[in-house]
Amino acid sequence: MPKTKKIDYTVEAGGSFTGKVEIPGDKSISHRALMLGAIADGMTKVHGFLESEDTIATLEALRAMGVEFDEIQPQRITIHGVGLHGLRDPGKPLNLGNSGTSVRLLSGLLAGQSFDSELTGDESLQIRCSAWVPISAAVTEVLYPSLSAAADCCPEFHISCPWPAHR
C-alpha cells in the first residue's frame, strides 16, 4: 500500500458576504415546470426559467394544446394551466425540434390524454432517437400500450388515447 502523506489545512474567515445570489435556470427543471404548470389548475409563476431552444419547443407544444403563457421575462414565465384533462388536441404533429427531453417527457404526459397525438423532430433528433426504439417498444408495450414508435422513423411517436369513451 502506498504511503500517504498527511496534510493539514487551516481555513480562516475572509470576511462577510452580503447580497443576493441568483442561480441560473436549469433546462431539465424548466421543461418539467412548463408541463406541471400546464396541467395545473390556474396560474403558475416560474422563477429561474431557462429559455433555450429545447424549453421553447416544449412551450410551443403546450401552447398548441391550448396552454397560455404570459411574455417570457428574463428567467421568469407565467403559465395559465388548463388542468389535468384540459389539454386539447393540437390537430397536427408536435414538432419538438432537437429536444429529446421534450419527446421523453411529453410522451408520458400525452399517453394519459383523451386525444391521439404525434411527436416529431428535426433530423438530428430522429437519428438520435432511433436508439430508443428497442427500449421504448418493450417498455411501452407493457406499460403504455397506447404509445407506439415506428422503428425506422423515430421520434415520430404516435400516441393513441387508450380510453375511446373519453374521445
Condensed to tens digits (0 to 9), the pLDDT of residues 105-146 reads 998 898 888 888 888 888 887 766 555 544 445 445 544 444
Same domain, 74 and 111: no
Same domain, 69 and 117: no
Same domain, 111 and 167: yes
* Residue 152 counted as domain residue: yes
* Residue 10 counted as domain residue: no
**Structural domain of residue 150, as residue ranges?**
107-167
* Residue 33 counted as domain residue: yes
Same domain, 31 and 67: yes
* Residue 102 counted as domain residue: no
Q: Centre a 10 Å sphere on the Cβ of residue 82 and count the other Cβ atoms it contains.
A: 20
Question: Element (H or E) spanning 60, and its range?
Answer: helix 53-64
Four-residue CA torsion sign, 112, 116, 121, 125: positive
Q: What number is the average pLDDT over the span 54-77? A: 93
Same domain, 111 and 161: yes
Same domain, 111 and 146: yes
Asked whether the predicted pLDDT for residue 63 surpasses 80, the reply is yes
Q: How confident is the model at residue 166 (pLDDT cuts 50, 70, 90)?
A: very low
Same domain, 120 and 73: no
* Residue 156 counted as domain residue: yes
pLDDT recorded at residue 157: 59
* DSSP single-letter state for residue 25: P
* Residue 111 counted as domain residue: yes
Same domain, 115 and 75: no
pLDDT digit string, tens, across residues 74-87: 889 999 999 999 99
pLDDT digit string, tens, across residues 33-59: 999 999 999 999 999 999 999 999 999
* Residue 78 counted as domain residue: yes
* DSSP single-letter state for residue 3: P
Same domain, 70 and 114: no
Asked whether the predicted pLDDT for residue 100 surpasses 80, the reply is yes
* Residue 17 counted as domain residue: no
pLDDT recorded at residue 112: 84
- Indicate the residue among 40, 67, 83 that finishes a domain: 83
Same domain, 114 and 77: no
- Domains in the chain: how many in total? 2
Question: What is the length of the chain?
Answer: 167
Q: Model pTM greater than 0.85?
A: no
Q: How confident is the model at residue 160 (pLDDT cuts 50, 70, 90)?
A: low
